[in-house]
Structures are given as structure tokens and as C-alpha cells.
Structure 1
Amino acid sequence: MRPGGRPVVAVGAYVRFRGLRWQVVALAGQRFHLAGEQGADEVVLAGHLFADPAFAVLGAEAEQAQAVSQWGLFETAPAAAREKALAWQRHIREVECGLPGGTGSVGSMRAEYDPERWTLAEREHAKAQELTALGFGRVSRATVQRMRLAYRKQGLWGLVDHRTARSSKGSGGRQDERVVAAVKDVLRGQRGRSKGTVKALMPLVAQLLKDRHGDSVPMPAQATFYRLVNQLAHPADHPGTAVRTAPITDDGRPLTPTVALRPGEQVQIDTTRLDVLALFEDGSVGRPELTIAVDVATRAILAAVLRPGGTQAVDAALLLAEMAVPHPARPTWPAALHFAHSALLPGERLLSLDERLDGAAAQPVVVPETVVVDRGKVFLSGAFTGACEALGISVQAAPPFAPTAKGIVERTFGSINTLFCQHLPGYTGSNVTRRGKDATREACYSVPQLQDLLDEWLVHFHHRPHEGLRHPVLPKIALSPNQMWAALIAIAGYVPVPLSGSDYLELLPVRWQAITERGIRLHHRTYDHNLLGPWRGQQSDVAARGGKWEVHTNPHDVRQIWVRLPELGLTEIPWIHREHTHQPFNDRTWQYLQTITTRRDSHDRYEADLAEALDQLMRRARGGTATRAEQSLLARHTPARTPPPSAVPGRGVQEQEGGAPAAAEAGGDSLDDLDQDAENATENEDASVDGPAVPVAGYGLYDAREEALKW
């Protein structure tokens, strides 16, 4: 095991490859010499070995640390316990690699923790003496070793004192729960208002208690009330904190440009609304939100995700995972847009390291070292910071009111609007004075259709010369992002990062639900499976959540959830009516079904009616009898239809985030059995209602085959 916690494939290790057990007997560069149990031997490239779906390092599964920390549990610990765990983390890293910030961090190494001079046991002994002197109590070498092994196995959650998370009391300690609820409601009501003092909250709480419970609930003493407010108040709600941060004054110093010398050294991430109108799922028209990650060294757009609005933390977290893996090319794209056929990329050398690049798009693949984000709650959430911690990425928050700290990503948004959006129907211009009177009527693309167009345009963008990219040997020639990445990757190197399905599940949002006799109920949907049998009606070990169970949900595909069960980890639990639907759907579609379905007293009967209504809605949409509002509601979850009709859809937003194909499964009663001519007729009828259809061809900036000759 290396300091990061993942198993290492070394000589003598046993691995699972092609369903068989092998032993690594020799290493030569990127070649592994494997010996089988039946006497067979084979030489395999590293990329081919790691890409095998059944690959695993045998004997390391039980000790392997989770790729993503259990932030859902870590956030349930008290603030003091979390701060102490973070302090332990720096000490553990210093014991393992000599630097508190971990391997590759900056700073000087103290002599007593130099791995080249002292053994691990000696460094643990030195750290025990240091922590004792710092006031951590009587810390022995065995304690340091136990904490180090716990950190390897469980991450930050292993460094938390679990005794602090066992309390069954509420956040208010021994206080009356009605008083605690009243204090929380008053603090929540004061959010965003001008701050006063803690004493000014007392009459508000007293009046609220009197309105709710009369004179039966007495007010606590003043000193007790002060302690209760300090314990319950969020830092942003506490009367003693500032409402807003004063902007940074301009002292006249010149702006220092951001410089990065290797791919991934600094990646800037931000979200904005595009200057183009799209058809949303509720039938309305609006500007979608775009979240991108731009590499400073190469100016490459590593990932781009479009959302109708309200970008969530899961979208930003999955954006990180998308940057670390190659982007698959569309089957209908010409060969010039594929990584293996690009003349500007070192395809032959990198294909021997990562076979996934053979079917990837011709654009860079970078694992960030540091990401620069603004102070939005999406990028400072536990899901996003936990994903960065798991992938070894440092998070650097930009100063408030300082857009120049992310100048490169801000400028890239302008390039996308001018080079991509202005060539699309529904372009709004940079402001209202530049907007045409028929922009709303011209909008004809849904969000996933725009995502498909954007993904293809990004491949062209990475072949376009950028004035900010110059090679030291040829300073007068502007390089493209692909050329700059090829030049830097030859020096910095390329390491493939395989991510498993469990890694993506850990990045999904967390809920806490009870497991009843009927399963798990969420928004009038019941999720059940035989695996829940031993835990029906039981409470979990997480007392801070009232004994509820940790549930991970995909906000863009609610057909299943994942529950963390003892000894099983995150386990998929399907919706009991999942067979009624043949494509993903979200809560917005579910809410619409509740408005057209009669409410029944029986929960089971009402849920069955909703499932039947969902099935009928999808059949109407595919059969051509659905209303325009219903068609728009489901447009986000269907493959983008662009000429020719036989084209295979690419990696849309739903396929990327939900992991489920958007097309229906084949079968005797499948939606795919409906007549395709009915769909074409419906589209023609819809076009005739609003006037002549806007052509969907000719919006690309480049002809791929002609541009390939210039490259």
C-alpha cells in the first residue's frame, strides 16, 4: 500500500486479470510479466491490464482505502472532532512522506521525519513525542500507528473520535426540544438581516414559545441561552459574525498573470449562463447554465456540463471525475476527431499506456493538481471538497469580489459565446440591446442537444490556435491546446487514472432515510429489495442522524438509490415500479405526474397510479400523441435527434451523470416497438404549428474533413 491508501502492483503481487489469478513476476517499463496458476505466462501492457473490468489487486481489497472519503459520515461528527481529525491528518501525512501537505506539496521537510534517514517506526516514535509536547495528551507510538492505519483504511472518518458521534442527544444537549426548535427557527428567520446581539434574540424566542405552547415551556436562564445559541447557530447566522465580507481595496498594484508550467498544475472552474436560449423540460425557454474546467497551462477545456439551471454539487463533483478520464468520441464523428487519428497528439506513445484513448475524442486528458473556484456553495460543499480530497486535488478559493483571480475561465466563457453560441438559433447576444425580437421563437434545441453540439465543438476548439499559447523554441507561432498539451506531456508524463463505479457512487448526494418494513420511501416512491431484509425496521449505527441510513441518490435518474449497508457498502436498491419506465426521469417529471393523477388514501394504490401515468406519458411521447408541454418535459432525457435519423446519439448529460442509457430496452412490450414513422410525423406536425422549421444543419463552425487537411 502506498501513502495514498491504494494498492500498488509490484513484483510478487497477485492480481485478477481476465477472471484468473496471476502473479507479477517481472516489470519492464509499462510491461507486466504475469505467471498463471496453471503454468501459463503472459506479458501485458499496463493500460490493458488496468482497463480490464475484472482487474483487482488480490489481498488488498480489505485494506484498500476508499477512493472517496465518507463525507456523509464525517459531517455528522461535532465541529471540534472534525477539527481534531484534520489536525491529525497533517501529522499522519508528515509521518508517512515527511511533508504535512502530503506527497508533492511544497515546504521544507523536518529532519526527524525524513523517510530516507529514519524508518517508519522511528518516525512514529518521534511524532508521538511531538504530539505529547503539543498537548494532545499522552500519545504513544502505538497510538500514532493506529491512527495512521485508520487513515489509510477510512480516510478522515478513521481519524474522528467515534465516541463523539454516538451521543443520542439532540444538538441542544439536555435542553427542552421545544426550546431548541424555537431557537433554530429564530436564527433561521434572522438569516440575511442586519445583525444585533444574542440578547436581542431572547424576546423573539420567548414570544415564539408562547405562541406555540403557551406558558407551559419556560425560557432558560440568560447564561444558558447564550450557550445554547453558540451551540446551535451556524457561523453565518450567529449575531457575532459579519453579514458580508468587505471587498478587497485596489491598492494600485499591477495584475500578476496566472502561470502554470505543466498540465493540471492549476485548473479554473466556474459556472455561468450561456448567451443562447434552450427548451427546458417544463416547456419554457431560457438560458442554460454551463460549468467548465479550463487548464491554465494548455488552455484546454477539460470538461463542460450544461444544466437547465440550479447547478448542484453533484454536477461539480462529477465534473472532476470527467476530467480524469478520456472523453469517448461519438460513433458518427469523422476519424479526424478521434484521438488515435490526430496528427497533433502523441497517439502512438500514449495508446501503449492507456487503451481508453483509442476510442477517445482528440482532446487533452488532465488530472488536476489544484482547482481554483469561487466561493459559491456548490464549490464549497462537502460533496465537491470530498471529491477533490479523494482524487488528491487541492481546492483554492478565489478572493471575494476578485473576478481577475479566475481570468482565464472568465475569458473562455466569452470565447464559447462568440465562437459557438452566436452560430446557434436562439442566440441572445451579450446584452438585451443586441437581442433580436424573434430569439425566443428561434430556440429549437433542448439542453442535451446543445450538450451534444458543444461536445463536438470542443474537439474543434482544441485544434484552434490560441494566442496565449507560445512554445519557447517557436515564440512567434501560436499553438493550439492540443499542441501545447503534447509538448508539455512529453516532459510532465501521463499517468492513466482508472475510476470504478463505486467511486462515482460516492460522489452522489447523500440523504438519510429510515428502512421500514416496506423498504425506503422517498417522495411517494418505494425502493425495496431482498437485501434490505435483515435491516427492516432497524436503526443504523449513526446516532447523529437519529438512526437513519445513508442513502445516495442521483438527482437526474430516480429509478434507483444506493444504501450503505453493513459489510456490503453502497448497494443499489431499485424502485418497485422500475419496469414501468424505459428511460431515466427526474423529480420534475414525477411532480408533473402528481398534478394529473388523482390522490388516493392508499399509498400503494397512489404510487401504482403514478407509475402507470409515467408509463402512459412515455408511450404518448414516443407515439406522437403527447402535448407539446409533455414532449418538452421529456426532451431532456431522450437522445438528441439530428439528421440523419440513423445517427447514434453520443454522450449526453443524462448518460454521463446517471450512468444509464437513455434508450429503452428491447422487448415484446418495449417502447422501441412503436412505429418510427409516428415520431417523424409528430415532429413534422409540431414544426407546422409554429411555422417553418429551423434547419438543424449548417451550424458548425468547421467542416471536419476540410479542417483536418489544414492541421
Structure 2
Amino acid sequence: MSGRRGGRPVLEVGAHVRFRDRTWQVVALAGQQIHLAGETGEDETVVAGHLFADPSFTIVGAEMPQAVTQWGLFETAPKEAQQKALAWQRHIREVESGLPPDGPGAGGTPRPQYDPDQFTLAQREQAKAAELTAIGFGPVSRTTVQRMRLAYRKQGLWGLVDHRTTRRPSPTGRTDERVIAAIEEALRRQRGRSKGTITGLKPLVTQILTDRHGRGTVPTPAQATFYRLVHQLADPAEHPHRPARTLPSTARGRSFTPTVALRPGEQVQVDTTRLDVLAVFDNGTTGRPELTIAVDVATRAILAAVLRPAGTKAVDAALLLAEMAVPHPARPTWPDALRLAHTQLPQLKRLMNLDERLEGAAARPVVVPETIVVDRGKVYLSTAFTAACETLGISVQPTPPHAPAAKGIVERTFGTINALLCQHLPGYTGSDVTRRGPAAETEACFSVTQLQDLLDEWLIHYHHRPHEGLRHPTLPKKALTPNQMWAALVAVAGYVSLPLNGNDYLELLPVRWQAITERGIRIDHRTYDHDLLAPYRGQPSCITARGGKWEVHTNPHDARQVWVRLPDGPLTEIPWIHRDHIHQPFNTATWQHIKTITTRHGDRDTHEADLADALDQLMRRAHTGTATADEQRLITRTAPLKTPPTAADTRTPPAPHPQADGWDADSLDDLDDLPDDQEQADEEPGDDNAHAPYTGLGLYDPAQEALNW
């Protein structure tokens, strides 16, 4: 069997699935493991993330996950159309589940006419049609309710919008098509010739109409209409009497908190606070970065943890949702003790025999939450965050005013992070000013990116550490780890929510509206171009509400590429034209610094090349240790880690790998794009693992710690 829980499909015991182009039946769920039985009697055990990531994976006979709503398009609809679509959404949810997201039936007993146990779906649709007609929606039939429900399943909120309000008007209006064809023929004949005026083009159009249809058969349009038609039909580079140029590059919830959560993902608490560690920001200054975490109430698992220099934005909170719902591979620089092969998951040896690729995976929970509890900060009540939650079918519950205890679990988790990790790091500030050392600022040596890397690594340790607040009913005196509690509750719940994929992650990225010019897409002195843009250069999009601009998704923390929605539907990656020269992600703050120190010479193409060269030289100087003190502070995240060994450790640390030294884990992923001969040249003879050996941070030996798990 399979069903839907919290708006997302679930995988339950007894369901039939397609995996590796074969049909299997789910016979058991144990933590992150799914036990499958084949049609011919064989059985396999796979990790949930590996199963969901398989291209052939589907649930037989079940409704697949609803596509992420195209919020960039939804925002182009008029406000009245958006509000009506949201109203339809609430009614459709009541028809399907019996429980509206708000109103008298919220969180309690369904209204009698919508009880799924008493009425069929067709009867509930008929009842909703009568209700909508009575409250003034107009004459609504059961067929209309069914059509809107199916449209919502297929397209989300965008399917509920009245598309008559978003329909693009014809650029040529009601003009005779014979006139349109004559103007296009005249423009074709003028192509490649010296350009004249629009007035000079009109006699040629008249002559073409006469030759094709006879004199006076098709009247020539008025002068103003003729000018408008030529403006619409002519290519910008070949427009009569216009120099060739590019187009301008001008884009409440209920205050209720359950006291008990019995399922993984049933309730997740999210909050932001400043970390008690000083970091070196990209501008060379030091300060306490902001940490945003999401904690699962039932298992105390930290589903996501994101560090930002300062001023966490709504887009960062929205990306936190994708961080929770997308599987994470183990980083290349992590020690083997943190990989799946060295955890205490049951039947691990059998799993490794099934697929050797699992050896590099990180055993980290992945879930699409049912409910998220947040405070009343503007970040979490913003349109970007609530829209992302709406897309994933997540209920947002703000806490009551002046009630910090309503999300006490996430508040206590901040204390755990400070006690178990932060106090061991250089630059630790203490919990208040009375506990701060006199030289905390001088001790700060990690950038925000390096602290994020340490935090991601520490989270794997955290999930294997016994938590005093987690107890199993049959073993009340033994504290369980978050991973053990996760495994126990998944077995009790009997289902696993399907995670998001990469395309869903791209849909959650920030949206801006840009023109596609003859040179490509220009954003902040950067040009993004690809051959795929050739048919759309200088052409308006079908979104008239945005002036014909195109929907572009950007990553604020990696500006090396953007994603544009072309007419065929999905987002298409468009690289920066200088991406091959910049092998490490950079954010907008670093780019702004490069712009301030680079003097403009020549045209904008030359200036952009100079900016890319300056950024490349800055990263190279920091990598080789020849940068100035100010430059080193700016680009600290690319500098080699200078962590002294512990006093008891007198071993000589191994020489760092030349490629890994000075680059963070994200840049090491670019090694996959190098030619085979270059990768072999970077590896030392006889070394099976080309990444930098783990030398420890002076805190613990992870290999020894793994033996105590």
C-alpha cells in the first residue's frame, strides 16, 4: 500500500515499487533501510536515500509527488487571481483529506459532509460544489471541483490560477494575417542590406500585398498600426532605422505547539541565533555568524544547519527546507569513520555487498517535515519562506508572542552545539561578555565556510551520540542516539516520505527577472551565456506581467551559474562565460570587493574579463600564501587550515594533498570534472585516496571515537 501524508507521498510496508527496472514489494522499514522482496523470491536491503535517488524508482499504482509550484510564474498573476487560487487550495484540501488547514475543522473532526470514512470522493466533490455556489463562488459544478483538484495535483497552485488573467495578448492584435506575412517578407528581403526607415519599408509591403492578392484586395494598415507591427516583428539587430544593439539588461498560522511528536518529521522546530564563535568574514572583519538549525522534535535529529555571516534572509530560510529534504553525500575530505561503512547500522556488511557506492554515503536523516514551528521573525513569516513551505505541503505554526518555551527543544540544541563544538574552537566568545577571553578577536582564524564544514562534520558525530532525552519504552534506562530513535520511530510509523530532487531544489532558489540580450544574460557585470539561448536572444518571454523578461534563478552563495526557464518548461543551467577560470564558488560580497579594487579600462567585455582575472589572481595568491594580510582575511575560506596538533600527539602529520590544501570541500567536487590524466598527476603513487589525510582538530580522534559508538 502507499498513500499521502502531509501532502507528500509515503512509502509503506506492502507497497510495490519499481527499482533498477524491476518490481519489488516493501516488506520492512528499519531506520534508513528499506527491505525489498522481488517477484522471483530474491530480497534486497537498500538505504532510503539510494532507493529514492534511483532514476527508475516509482511507487506502483500510487500518485507520484506533486511537482514544486513554479512560484516565479505564480507571482506574475494578479493579486485577485492569486487570492482566489489560494482559496481554491483550501477547499480542495478539505475535499481530499476532510480536514481544512484552517477554520472550524482544523486539527479536529472533519465536517460531516467531508468525512472520508462516510462519503466517497465524488460525494465530497458534490458537497463542495454546493457549498461554493452558496458562498458566492458562482455556479460551481462537481465537474469544476474535480477539474480544479486534478489541476492542483498536476501543477500545484499554478494550476488553480485563472489563466485568462495571465494570457499573453497577441503582439499583432487582430491584424490581417496576410498583412503580417507581407511585413515579415519585406523584413526578410531587407536583411543584410543597408537599413532605411520604417516609412521606406511601407511601399515594399504594399507592393508585396499587390503581387500576392491583387491591387486593393488587402488594405494597408494605418501608419501608427504599421509602426507597431514592425516594432513587434523586426529583430532588434535588424530593426529599420535603429542601430544594432543589445536589449537593456534591466527582477498566519495557528499558535499551537504539540507537546509530543511520535513520527520523524511530524514537528520540526526552526530558529536562528548568533554562534558563540568569532569568524573571519569576507571583508576581513571578525564577528559572530548567524546559525539557523532545524531540529526534529521526535528524534532530536538536527536535519539542517546553515551558517551565514550576518542578516539571515528569507531566501536562506527557504533554502534550509531544501537542505532538510535533499540527501547528502559524504564530503571527500571527511575521515572514513564518518562514512556509512563505519557506522553501526544493522546488516551493514550485506548492504555494502549490494552496492559498493554506499561506502561513500553519509548516514544522515532526510525528511520533508509535516509541521514547522517558528518564531514570529520577519524571515519566517516572509512570502519566500511561507511560499516554499506551501510548495512542499508543510504547515507553518508561529509560536505565541513572548513564549520562547514553545520551541524549547531548538533553543536547548543551540546550547548543545556551543558546549560540544564551539567552546573547543579558536575564537570562542563564551555565552556572555563576562566569560569572554581578552584575546578572542585575535584567536579567530576560521571563515564562515570553514566553520560550516566543521559543523557538517560534527553533525555526523552528534547523531551517533546518546541523548538523555531519548528513551525507548522497552529500555527506559538506556539513552538512545538520534539515529537509533529515528530507526525506532520509522519502524513504528511504517512509512518514509519521499525526498526532493535536484530540480525541486532549483525551484526554491531566489528568482529575478532579466532580459536575454544578444550577449546573453547580464547580472552585476557578469555575463551568462550558452548556445541554448540562441533562439531567444533579443526576444521577449511570454510573461507580460514582467515586461517580457525571463525567469532566472540564482544561487546567492555561488554566482558561477544561473538557471533560466525556457519555453519548454524546466530550468536550464547557463554558466558564467568566465566560469572555467574560477574553480571555487564565490558569493556576492566577494564579487563586490573585486569591483571596488578593479579600475575599469575599455568596454564592458574587457572590464568583465579584468574582474574575472582579478578574482582568479586573488584566489591564487591566497592559495599559494603570497596574499597580503587584508587579502588573506578576505579570502580566508580558501586558505590552508593551520590547526596545531594536540599536546599528546607527537606524530608528524602527513603532507597535505596539493589539490586539497587551501580549497574547501565544495571545490574538491570539481575534481570530478578534470581530465583523467590530470587527476592521476595529482595523486601520489600508491595512494588510493587522493584527498588530504585527516589530522584532527585537537579535539578528538574520530577513528578512536568511532570505536566507542
> Does 1:76 pair with 2:76?
yes
Task: Determine helix, strand or coil for the equivalent of 1:162.
Answer: coil
CA positional deviation for 1:136:
0.7
Of 36, 46, 65 in structure 2, the residue corresponding to residue 31 of structure 1 is 36
SS of the equivalent of 1:400 reads: coil
Taking the TM superposition and a 5 Å limit, the aligned residue runs for 1:187-266 are: 258-266=259-267
Please tell me the residue identity of whatever aligns with 2:702: A
Deviations 1:151-185 (Å, cap 9, x if unpaired)? 112101211223344699xxxxxxxxxxxxxxxxx
How big is the shift at 1:697?
4.9
CA contact (8 A) 2:367 2:499 kept: no
Residue matched to 1:402: 403
- 1:139-150 superposed matches below 5 A: 139-150=140-151
Partner of 2:630, secondary structure, is helix
Mapping 1:427-576, distance limit 5 Å: 427-493=428-494, 495=496, 497-576=498-577
In 2: Cα distance, 1:359 partner to 1:436 partner = 40
Which residue pairs with 1:207 in the alignment? none
Match of 2:637 in 1: 636
| The structure with more radius of gyration | 2
Higher relative contact order (CA 8 A, sep 6+): 2
Partner Cα distance (2:338, 2:612) in 1: 42
Q: In 2 relative to 1, CA 599–513 (structure 1 residues): closer, same or farther, beyond 3 Å?
A: same
Decide whether the 8 Å contact of 1:274 with 1:287 is kept in 2: yes
In structure 2, give the amino acid aligned to 1:88.
W
Residues in 2 aligned to 1:478 and 1:52: alpha-carbon distance in whole angstroms: 32
* Aligned-pair CA distance for 1:543: 2.5
Give me the TM-score of the superposition, normalised by structure 2.
Answer: 0.72
User: What residue is the counterpart of 2:422 in the other structure?
Assistant: 421
Residue identity in the other structure for 1:589: T
Q: Report what 1:699 is aligned to.
A: 698
- Contact 1:517-1:537 within 8 A present in 2 as well: yes
Give the drift of 1:563.
0.8
Deviations 1:99-157 (A, max 9, x none): 3349x984323454455655544433332222111211001222212211221121012
Find the aligned partners of 1:524 and 1:396 in 2 and give their Cα distance.
41
Q: 1:145 to 1:522 in 2, by over 3 A?
A: same
- Cα distance, 1:558 vs structure 2: 0.9
Deviations 1:567-593 (A, max 9, x none): 142111111222222222222222222
Q: Determine if contact 1:666/1:672 at 8 Å carries over to the other structure.
A: no
The code of the aligned residue for 2:269 comes to: Q
User: What's the counterpart of residue 272 of structure 2?
Assistant: 271
C-alpha offsets along residues 492-544 of structure 1, whole Å, 9 cap, x if unaligned? 23526343211110111111111222221110111122222232222223222
Q: Whole-Å Cα distance in 2 between the matches of residues 318 and 349 of structure 1?
A: 35
Cα separation, 2, equivalents of 1:7 and 1:534: 41
Distance 1:674 1:280 in 2: 31
Kept in 2: contact 1:7–1:64 (CA 8 A): no
What does residue 87 of structure 2 align with? 87
SS of 1:153's partner is helix
Q: What is the alpha-carbon distance in structure 2 between the residues aligned to residue 354 and residue 406 of structure 1?
A: 40
Unpaired runs of at least 5, structure 2: 29-34, 170-251, 644-652, 685-693
2:326–2:366 Cα contact (<8 Å) kept: yes
Cα separation, partners in 2 of 1:524 and 1:397, compared to 1, 3 Å: same
TM-score (norm. length: structure 1): 0.72
**Equivalence map 1:340-355=2 (5 Å):** 340-343=341-344
Q: What residue is the counterpart of 2:178 in the other structure?
A: none
CA 1:150 to 1:344, structure 2 compared with 1: closer, same or farther past 3 Å? closer
Deviations 1:651-693 (A, max 9, x none): x99867xx993669546999999999xxxxxxxxxxxxxxxxx
Q: Verify the 8 A CA contact 2:632 2:639 in the aligned structure 1.
A: no
Q: Which moved more, 1:46-55 or 1:666-675?
A: 666-675
Q: Is the 8 A contact 1:51 1:355 kept in 2?
A: no
Q: Which residue does the alignment assign to 2:603?
A: 602
Q: Which position in structure 2 is the counterpart of 1:189?
A: none
In 2, Cα distance between equivalents of 1:479 and 1:403: 26
SS of corresponding position for 1:401: coil
Cα distance between partner residues in 2 of 1:470 and 1:5 = 29
Contact 1:50 1:498 survives alignment (8 Å)? no
Q: Out of 655, 669, 672, which is 1:661 matched to?
A: 669
| Secondary structure of the structure 1 residue equivalent to 2:68 | coil
For 1:521, the aligned partner's letter is: R
Q: Distance in 2 between matches of 1:97 and 1:663?
A: 48
Aligned partner of 1:445: which letter?
F
Question: What pairs up with 1:263-302 in 2 under 5 angstroms?
Answer: 263-302=264-303
The answer to whether the 8 Å contact 2:11/2:498 transfers is no
Q: After the TM superposition, which of the residue ranges 448-457 and 368-377 deviates more from structure 2?
A: 448-457
Q: Deviations over 1:35-94 (max 9, x none)?
A: 9xxxxx997767688455532669999x97753212222233333332221221122123
Alpha-carbon distance between aligned partners in 2 of 1:23 and 1:481, rounded to the nearest angstrom: 33
Matched AA of 2:698: Y
Q: Secondary structure at the match of 1:163?
A: coil
Deviation at 1:552, TM superposition (A): 0.3
SS class of match (1:146): helix
What letter corresponds to residue 36 of structure 2 in structure 1? R
One-letter amino acid of the counterpart of residue 276, structure 1: V
The gaps in structure 1 that reach 5 residues or longer are 36-40, 169-244, 249-254, 677-694
The 1-side partners of 2:635 and 2:400 are apart by: 40
SS in 2 for 1:620: helix
Note if contact 1:582-1:663 (Cα within 8 Å) is conserved in structure 2. Answer: no
The one-letter amino acid of 2:627's match is A
Give the SS at the match of 2:318.
helix
Q: Confirm or deny: 8 A CA contact 1:280 1:446 kept in the other structure.
A: yes
**Aligned Cα root-mean-square deviation (Å):** 4.5
Alpha carbons 2:332, 2:665 under 8 Å: kept: no
Structure 1, residues 609-632: CA drift from partner, whole Å, max 9, x if none?
Answer: 222222333333333332232233
Q: Is the 8 A contact 1:64 1:152 kept in 2?
A: no
CA distance in 2, matches of 1:402, 1:142: 46
Distance 1:361 1:53, change over 3 A: closer
CA spacing shift, 1:339–1:557, aligned 2, 3 Å:
same
